[in-house]
Structures are given as structure tokens and as C-alpha cells.
């Protein structure tokens, strides 16, 4: 079992590495959806549209720099958003609940409709992968293909204990706190992180750990599951479960990858994604 320090380190390392990997400052676009001002970015002019969904406390800039920089040159139009309360989709602050990721899925579907996109594929990392599965299940008429990594359909007691163990940011080292404090400011980061941990843990307390297992049977589009073999945040049994329960899915294990495989190995990851999305 991986310890809390490994989990925090893996989460924050992704934020540090993306600053070295992404292109120069991304300009913001805004759209009003269901009373919320949402930040999004569009890059490229390819016929195939790929919607990127960030992970916990994630944004366009922190989570998808290498994809926004490279995938448009691989024949794709890439759309990425900051979920409400994250990145530049503030204010208002993030409003956490056990169903927040489902709310994100519905909201981003409305955003894409408002922006005029009827058909698109979904790329979701971690929490964004969970929302991506919910989106594909609920809106099969819009989602052509699904790519998910670092995602899970349920949480276990082991997951619960790890999350509880990392709730207090005062136990984190300065090096681990710094990327998120820089992005959000210490107070907002503290409140947002605690809200995220509490919301995730409530899924085990109130729902027996079930996040979206029932959605999996309703995913009909071709699905690519990518997973880092050394991921300390989401153990390998999670992607194996997804592979077994999502029809028309395939699983690719990146042997040296951890939770942030798309940031640590962007060339390999982007090629996998491009080849999959262009496949007939």
C-alpha cells in the first residue's frame, strides 16, 4: 500500500512538472452556463474535437499544458475547461458535495452545447475521468470516444484512510504545498482541499463507496483506459475493473507511469490518444 506522503508527492509533482512542459501563458475565454462564468480554452482546427476534463483542483493551465500544446498539431481541436471553483472559473468558490462530479459532467455538456459542439471525444484525468465516464453514459449522442486515466468508479476503505491522512495541509512539506498555494493562495487551497477530501470520503460513508459503477454499463462509445503501473493514488485494480465493466474498452498500462502519465510522458501519451481518436 502506498503511504500518504507518496500520494501528496504524486499529486503535487504533476503541478510542478506542467510548468516546465506547457506552452506560454494560456489566454482565457469565458462563457456563462447555468449562471456560472466558466473559463475555457480552444486550440487547433482539426475536424475531431477533444474535450479535456481536469482532476482535483485542476485547470487548463495546471493539468493539460502538453496536450493543449501538442494535440492540435495532431489533427485535433482541443477544448479544455476550468471546472467551477477551480482555476479561473472563480468566483464563486467550489461547492463540494458527493455528486459534484456528476454536476460537472452535466455542466460541461451544457457548456459544449452552448459553444456549438454536438460531437466530441472526452479526455478525463482522475476526477475528470470520473466525470468523463458519467458524461459518456448520460450523453451517448454527443460523446464519440472516451479516454480516461487515473480514474476509479468506487473507493475502498484503503482509499478512505489515505484521503483522511492527507486532509490537513499543515502536515505537508513546503515543497508539496507550494504549487497549489501559488495557484490558489493558502486559504482557498486549504478550504478547497479539505472540501474535496470530505466530499470523496462521504461517498464511502453515505454511498458504500460507489461513485459511478452503474454508469459503466451505459457507456457505449469506444473507450481507452490508460494507467500508470506505479500510480500511488489509484491502484491497478481500479483500471482493471473499468476494463471489465465498460464494453468496447481497451486498457494500456504505462509501466513507468504514475498518476500524471500525461504530464510525465507527454509524447507517448499524446500519440496513444491521437492514434485512438483517429482510428476508424
Residues marked active site are found at 126, 231, 259
Pairing between strand 120-125 and 48-53?
A: parallel
Q: Give the number of residues written for the chain.
A: 280
3-state percent breakdown (helix, strand, coil) of the chain, nearest 5: 50, 20, 35
Please state, in angstroms and rounded to a whole number, the distance separating the CA atoms of residues 246 and 240: 10
Neighbours of 169 (CB within 10 A): 16
H-helix or E-strand spanning residue 50 = strand 48-53
**Collapsed DSSP state (helix, strand, coil) of residue 148:** strand
**Collapsed DSSP state (helix, strand, coil) of residue 223:** strand
Residues 6+ apart with CB under 8 A from 178: 12
Please state, in angstroms and rounded to a whole number, the distance separating the CA atoms of residues 147 and 125: 9
Q: Please name which of 18, 249, 8, 10 lies closest in space to residue 133, comparing C-alpha atoms.
A: 249
Amino acid at each position: 500500500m502506498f503511504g500518504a506522503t507518496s500520494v501528496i508527492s504524486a499529486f503535487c509533482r504533476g503541478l510542478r512538472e506542467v510548468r516546465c512542459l506547457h506552452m506560454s501563458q494560456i489566454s482565457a475565454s469565458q462563457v456563462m452556463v447555468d449562471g456560472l462564468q466558466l473559463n475555457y480554452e480552444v486550440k487547433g482546427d482539426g475536424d475531431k474535437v477533444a474535450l479535456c476534463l481536469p482532476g482535483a483542483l485542476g485547470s487548463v493551465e495546471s493539468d493539460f499544458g502538453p496536450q493543449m500544446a501538442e494535440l492540435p498539431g495532431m489533427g485535433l481541436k482541443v477544448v479544455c475547461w476550468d471546472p467551477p471553483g477551480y482555476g479561473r472559473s472563480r468566483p464563486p468558490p467550489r461547492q463540494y458535495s458527493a455528486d459534484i462530479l456528476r454536476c460537472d459532467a452535466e455542466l460541461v455538456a451544457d457548456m459544449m452545447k452552448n459553444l456549438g459542439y454536438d460531437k466530441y471525444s472526452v479526455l478525463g484525468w482522475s476526477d475528470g475521468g470520473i466525470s468523463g465516464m458519467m458524461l459518456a453514459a448520460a450523453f451517448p449522442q454527443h460523446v464519440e470516444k472516451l479516454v480516461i486515466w487515473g480514474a476509479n468508479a468506487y473507493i475502498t476503505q484503503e482509499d478512505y484512510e489515505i484521503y483522511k491522512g492527507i486532509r490537513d495541509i499543515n502536515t505537508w512539506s513546503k515543497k508539496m504545498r507550494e504549487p497549489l498555494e501559488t495557484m490558489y493562495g493558502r486559504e482557498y487551497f486549504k478550504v478547497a482541499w479539505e472540501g474535496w477530501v470530505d466530499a470523496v470520503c462521504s461517498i464511502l460513508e453515505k454511498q458504500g463507496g460507489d461513485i459511478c459503477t452503474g454508469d459503466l454499463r451505459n457507456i457505449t462509445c469506444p473507450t481507452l483506459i490508460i494507467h500508470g503501473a506505479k500510480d500511488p493514488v489509484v491502484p491497478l485494480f481500479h483500471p482493471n475493473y473499468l476494463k471489465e465493466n465498460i464494453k468496447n474498452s481497451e486498457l494500456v498500462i504505462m509501466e513507468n507511469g504514475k498518476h500524471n502519465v500525461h504530464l510525465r510522458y507527454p509524447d507517448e501519451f499524446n500519440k496513444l490518444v491521437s492514434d485512438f481518436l483517429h482510428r476508424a
